[in-house]
Chains A and B, each alone.
Chain A
Amino acid sequence: MLSPRGAFTIFGGVVLIAFGFAATQMHIAFTTYHALGGGKQINIPEELPFFLLLMGCIMILSTVIGIPIFRLSADPRSVVVTRKIDREKVFAGDYVFVEVTMKNTGLGGIDLLEVYDAYPQIFELALGENWVLTKIEGGQEVSFAYVLRALKRGKYLLGPSKVIVKDRLGLFFEEEIKEGNETELIVYPPYEDIAKMMVVAKKRLMGRAFGIHKTRAKGIGSDFFAIREYVTGDEFRRIDWKSFARKGNPMVRDYEDEKSLTSVIFLDCSGSMGGGPPANSKLEYAIRSAVLLTHLAFERSDPVGLCIFSDKVRAWVKPGKGQRKFYEILEALAIVEPGGGANIEGAMEFVLSQVRKAGFFMVISDLEHANIEKLTKSLKQAVARNNSLTVLAPFGPFFEVKVGTLSPVEKALAEAVAEEYFGERAKVIKELQKAEIETISVGPDDILSVVIDTWIKQKRVSGA
């Protein structure tokens, strides 16, 4: 309650009083000594003790009289702090406008109010300040705001706020941390990859860049395909009357057949996937890949499902399409944290029990500590159910080591470790290839392009 300044003032007062009394005692002692014939009289003026006493009393009293006034007016509990954010869900790299409002519910004004609004360290303060120093009257409301940049996906809490009230002279203070006033914010994985794609699409380069073309097969869709002559059995409602009038023969309109490819993404979030720098770990790239694949599929109105697993299924989003499903998937991806082992077989079994329609399964896993036999068996089971399957296997050393930063010795060691990893990986790939399961080892540089290629390939193969 007593601030260092207040304590110093009181201490100063006590010291001055002590000096005052010391001067009095010295005066008495010298006078007595002189009276007893002990040498020359040393005179200590009578005013000195009184002056020191006066100053000491003044300092103590001027501090103490502030206590009741402070207690009456300054109570941090009377300050209600609320926080408002412009959106509760953002993409990594996006900005959030945080508005903090303080209301003094007390009757008296607070001379000096300091409010510090905490935010997770992973966020970056882009604009404004997350604190305020102000004076607030009883019943008054004041606000301030700041802009944060969300750097990493996840579920975060903004807050709590710390409220410090001080008196005008800075002699006293009270502080309180407003526990429970936190605001939840979900940060989705970054959409930069999607944004890049969208820009390219806008520039009409999509076809050339990625080779995405519609697989045209006539059928009963809604997109026009061609006009042909009528043959027996064609529906009357498909006759094109204008062409009939022009040519003299009955002509019918054909439409493109609309097939959809149901994709399910298996995302391994086991502990080993967390290897590498936090922002560029295998898991982060796997999540970015999942976001990209989801977006690609939704652009073509194909349903996508998501199964996040470690040693058990951590999240399951049923296949579906539309914007809401997209955000459902993003939300599931936002809160994934690496941990536990990897049970691909269990996840596959679970998904096969949930999804009846055949589709495309993309497993994103580093395949570390995988039981090859069990894994092959379960993946074969998926293929047997007429699903096409691709395993995207992020290769650990590519994510975990930045060669440029290593010394020659470290570089040699890293190469040795990578060699060992590579041997193991080759064995797993060989086994899976025997079972005709496509497995692609990927690094941070090619994972996204491999995702796009794989998906396009699947679209072509499935004729969707």
Chain B
Amino acid sequence: MMTSRGKFAVHTLRLISLFSFLLLLSYLLINIELDAFDPGAFKNVGIFLIAIVGEILINLSDVFAGLGGEQTGDVSRSVIRTTIYYVLLGGMDLSDYNITAEQYITGDSFPSPKIFASSLGSMVMLVLLPIALLSGLGFLRDCNVRLSVICFFSLTALLAIAVAKEKIELEYDTTSESIGELITSPLFFLGLILLFYLEISFQASYAYTILEPNLKRSERIRQHIQRIKEFSEAEEIGPLKEEKIEEATETAKRRSIESWILIREQIEERRVVKPRESVRVNIRLKHYLDNLLRNNPDAQKLLSAETARPKSGRILLFIIPNFIIRLSIVIFLSWMVLRPIVFLRVFNVPDPLLDSVESLQPETTFLVLIPLVLAIVIFSGFVGTLQERVHKTVLKRVREEEKAKEEVEKETTMVFTGPGQELPTIETDGNS
């Protein structure tokens, strides 16, 4: 029960990332013209590549014939092309490339590179779509950032190809200076959703990273302690039976990899360590643990690191505002970079320069992007220096406090318990 409660933040963020992923995917599938995903693209790419290989072979045969003092004529080239056409291409129709078989064999015409490029784009799109789909859904399983990054780049590439193929209409006004217009433009909006997905997947991964191992650890340690508490010598004496191993293996198969490793290690340990020795060690651990839990009520919490486990709801509370702020800053800075005119105007850049066609070129983004990045880095350095100073002061104070605390403890020890140190006690495990 505790586990599902503890994962509240993870589940919420997973849901948000699923939502953004589906939004993105549906937006793309609705807006991209369906013929962009032409399955015939594979065939066209294949034909072109085979044709290219054929031309290489022809040229090579020319070279070798030349070396032997002979010349290959149009007939022999035609023979090679005919062989390629019938053997490798199976005598297929080349109308997709706007040529006929005769034109290809005689060498009058060659499959168009433009059609090849277009087909290649379609083929890549067809490959990228399932990759994006699988990685996007795969991310939801264990919040693996690599999968979300793969999904992000697949979708970006898919979109870029669709734009290049003119299979999606994304209006983008390069002259407008308004931030509102920028945000509402389909191109920027799509970019924003992509960023939203990437960011939210990173945040989900963070929540997963910080909560999941702690929850698993708590559960694992709790079970471990329980096993030690319930340990009895009679059950453990004698080698582990094969059926027990099989049973453990079956249980492990149904569970996660971690539990499989754990169970396997246990089996191996019992096989390697002499049963008697392992029993003795376990009994000793049981006695120690009993004493420990009796004398230190917080021991179990400390062992399972429950005290260090962040609260799920609190994490969510931190993540969401932070995420909104980050997104807003990125939008604002992107506007500054993509609409450099507004920013340059502040610095009194001459009007003829601002009004020129050049200012609308993508290169102008560098005028703002590089200084902006540098300014942020320099500012970070300044913050770091300040932080260091504060840290030194705080550390000095902490050390003074600790010193004072130690002195007080020392005095107390001398008054009440004497200067002697605690000595370990010899215990017998009752089993020797």
**What's the Cα separation between A72 and B195 when bound, in Å?**
24
Cα distance, A45 to B423, chains bound together (Å): 82
Q: Do residues A54 and B188 form an inter-chain contact, with CB atoms below 8 A?
A: yes
Q: Is the CB of A95 within 8 A of B285?
A: yes
Min distance, Cβ B431 to any Cβ of chain A, angstroms: 8
What's the A-B contact tally at a CB cutoff of 8 Å?
239
Most buried by B among A43, A86, A133: A133
State the main secondary structure of chain B at its contact with A: helix
A195 touches B427 (CB 8 A): yes
Is there contact, CB below 8 Å, between A147 and B315? no
Q: A21-B363, A55-B156 are in contact. Are A62 and B224 (CB under 8 A)?
A: no
Q: Which of A12, A60, A111, A199 is close to B373, meaning CB atoms less than 8 Å apart? A: A60
Question: A residues 96-142 with Cβ under 8 Å of B?
Answer: 97, 99, 103, 105-107, 111-112, 126-129, 132-135, 142
Binary CB contact string for chain B from 208 to 224 against chain A (1 if under 8 A, 0 otherwise): 01100110010001001
* A45-72 with Cβ < 8 A to chain B: 45-55, 57-62, 64-68, 70-72
Shortest beta-carbon distance from B392 to chain A in Å: 9
Question: What is the CB-to-nearest-CB distance from B184 to chain A, in angstroms, rounded to a whole number?
Answer: 14
Binary contact readout A2-40 vs B (1 if CB under 8 angstroms, 0 otherwise): 000100100010001001110110000000000000001
Name the interface residues of A320-346: CB closer than 8 Å to any CB of B: 323-324, 327
Are A129 and B333 in contact (CB-based, < 8 A)? no
- Are A44 and B432 in contact, CB atoms less than 8 angstroms apart? no
Evaluate contact between A191 and B296: CB separation under 8 angstroms. Answer: no
Q: Is A75 an interface residue (CB 8 A)?
A: yes
**Residue A144 interfacial (CB < 8 Å):** yes
CB distance from B203 to the nearest CB of A (A): 7
Contact of B373 with A64 in the complex, beta carbons under 8 Å = yes
- Given contacts A47-B187, A134-B308, whether A62 and B326 have CB atoms under 8 Å apart is yes
Q: Is the CB of A51 within 8 A of B187?
A: yes
Residues of A within 8 A of B156 (CB): 16, 55
Q: What are the residues of chain B within 8 A of A8 when measuring CB–CB?
A: 149
A219 within 8 Å of B by Cβ?
no
Contact pick for A24, options B149, B225, B362, CB 8 Å: B362
B383 A105 Cβ-Cβ under 8 A: no
Chain A residues with CB under 8 A of B398: 80, 103, 105
Q: Is the CB of A55 within 8 A of B206?
A: no
Chain A nearest CB: distance from B384 CB in Å?
Answer: 4
Q: A103 to B399: give the CA distance in the assembly, Å.
A: 12
Q: Is the CB of A62 within 8 A of B394?
A: no
Q: Once the chains bind, are A195 and B426 in contact (CB under 8 Å)?
A: yes
Tell whether B73 is near chain A: CB-to-CB under 8 Å.
no
Q: What CA separation (Å) do A146 and B429 show in the bound complex?
A: 22
> In the complex the two chains form, what is the Cα distance from A191 to B365 in whole Å?
75
- Flag if A168 contacts B424 (CB, 8 Å): no
Kindly state whether residue B240 has any CB partner on chain A within 8 Å: no
A112-B206, A134-B308 given; A21·B326 CB < 8 A: no
Please tell me if B304 contacts chain A, counting CB pairs below 8 Å.
yes
Q: How far is the CB of A168 from chain B (nearest CB, A)?
A: 5
Asked whether B432 lies within 8 Å of A144 as measured between CB atoms, the reply is no
Which residues of B are found within 8 Å of A145, using beta-carbon distances?
A: 299, 302-303, 305
Chain A residues in 8 Å Cβ range of B315: 135
A196: interface (CB < 8 Å): yes
B380: Cβ under 8 A from any A Cβ: yes
- Compute how far the CA of A223 lies from the CA of B92 in the bound complex, rounded to whole angstroms: 116
Per the bound structure, the CA–CA distance linking A90 and B191 in Å amounts to 62
Contact status B307-A143, CB under 8 Å = yes
Q: How many of chain A's residues touch chain B, expressed as a range?
A: 35 or more
Q: Which residue of A lies closest to B377 (CB)?
A: A67
Query: Which of B37-45, B128-136, B157-165, B230-238 is the contact stretch?
Result: B157-165
Q: How far is B199's CA from A58's CA once the two chains are assembled, in angstroms? A: 11
CA separation between A402 and B217, bound complex, in Å? 41
Q: A51-B160, A196-B432 are in contact. Are A143 and B308 (CB under 8 A)?
A: yes
The answer for the CA separation of A188 and B425 in the assembled complex, in Å, is 12
Binding stretch for chain A, among B46-54, B81-89, B166-174: B166-174
CB neighbours of A49 from chain B (8 A): 362
Bound state CA distance, A59 and B305, in angstroms?
Answer: 36
Residues of B within 8 A of A62 (CB): 195, 198-199, 326, 330
Nearest neighbor of B379 in chain A, beta-carbon distance: A68
**Chain A residue, CB-CB nearest to B212:** A133
Contact of A65 among B224, B330, B421 (CB under 8 A): B330
Q: Does A423 contact B (CB under 8 A)?
A: no
Q: How far is the CB of A94 from chain B (nearest CB, A)?
A: 7
Residue from B114, B172, B376 in contact with A50 in the complex, judged by beta carbons closer than 8 Å:
B172
By a CB distance below 8 angstroms, the chain A residues around B195 are 58-59, 62
Q: How far is the CB of A126 from chain B (nearest CB, A)?
A: 6
The answer, yes or no, to whether A78 is at the interface (CB within 8 Å) is yes
**Within B314-334, which residues are at the interface with A (CB < 8 Å)?**
315, 318-319, 322, 326, 329-330, 333-334
Kindly name the residue among A16, A40, A51, A132 whose own CB sees the greatest number of chain B CB atoms within 10 A: A51
Cβ–Cβ contact B333 & A55, under 8 A: no
B57 CB–A CB distance under 8 Å: no
Nearest B residue to A326 by beta-carbon distance?
B423
Asked whether, in the complex, the Cβ of A94 is within 8 Å of the Cβ of B424, the reply is yes
**Assembly CA distance A128 to B376 (angstroms):** 42
10 A-B pairs with least C-beta separation:
A145-B302, A67-B380, A144-B305, A128-B303, A196-B432, A135-B310, A169-B202, A134-B308, A142-B308, A95-B288
Instruction: Give 10 A-B contacts (CB < 8 Å), ordered by A residue.
Output: A19-B160, A20-B362, A57-B338, A64-B376, A65-B329, A66-B326, A133-B209, A149-B285, A169-B199, A170-B205
